[in-house]
Amino acid sequence: MTKVLNLGIWFLFFILFVTLFYIVLAFIKNKQRKYITRALLIFLTLLLTIVAFYFPVKNPLQQAKQVTFTIENGVSEDKLESKKVNEIKQIIQNQHLIKNTSKTLVGTSPYPFNEGINIHISGNEISFNMLVFIRIDNPKESYVEYNSQYYSILKSDKFVQDIVKVINRLES
């Protein structure tokens, strides 16, 4: 279902450009005002739909009080207790996420096992699973997977630096 929705969003971009082309053509050929008005209405509706889809969202981790974190950094896998969880949870909570249709439809690029950190978050009282994939080699490629939808992380460079610092401190 998620792939169908993302494919629909890509299709909306195509329709948006066709509608914009039609509006410009209608102005050039001096078409009747009702055709231009309808085309503008369609254009604005499509534009608002796309903006609403891509609007940054706060992550669902904010609603969950009890969560389990499993951190895998290529070498080891650790399940964290509540004291250690709060610091990482705070960093992840402060991130804004933007839906990423290309990662959902095409998939993600592989990376070396020692250049990434995977954080699996599962809710205890609210049932949810969230995967945070952190790319140390290329922070812009870091992403979050939630409900089969991929999200890009705004300000991913700072996010990756903060997570790496916390994990290094926890391991030592």
CATH of the domain at 154: 3.30.1490
Would you tell me how many other CB atoms lie within 10 Å of the CB of residue 115?
A: 13
Domain count, the chain: 2
Q: What is the pLDDT of residues 13-23, one digit of tens each?
A: 888 888 888 88
Same domain? For 10 and 69 the reply is no
Examine the domain organization and report whether 66 and 40 are in the same domain.
no
Residues 48 and 64 in one domain: no
Which pLDDT band, with edges at 50, 70 and 90, does 102 fall under?
Answer: confident
Which residues does 25 contact at the CB level (< 8 Å), separation at least 6? none
Task: Clarify whether residues 47 and 105 are in a common domain.
Answer: no
Residues 83 and 156 grouped into a single domain? yes
Residues 81 and 46 grouped into a single domain: no
Same domain, 45 and 88: no
- Residue 104's pLDDT is 64
- The structure's pTM equals 0.72
* pLDDT at 55 exceeding the cut of 70: yes
Q: pLDDT confidence of 9, banded at 50, 70, 90?
A: confident
Domain that holds residue 41: 2-54
Which span out of 64-68, 82-86, 138-142 was modeled with the highest average pLDDT? Answer: 138-142
Let me know whether 76 and 143 are in one domain.
yes
Does 78 share its domain with 151?
yes
What is the average per-residue pLDDT within 50-73? Answer: 74
Same domain, 89 and 165: yes
Residues 84 and 47 in one domain: no
Which tokens is 11 given? 């299709």
CB-neighbour burial class of residue 70 (10 A; exposed 0-12, middle 13-18, buried 19+):
middle
Percentage of the chain surpassing pLDDT 90?
1
Is the predicted pLDDT of residue 158 greater than 80, yes or no? yes
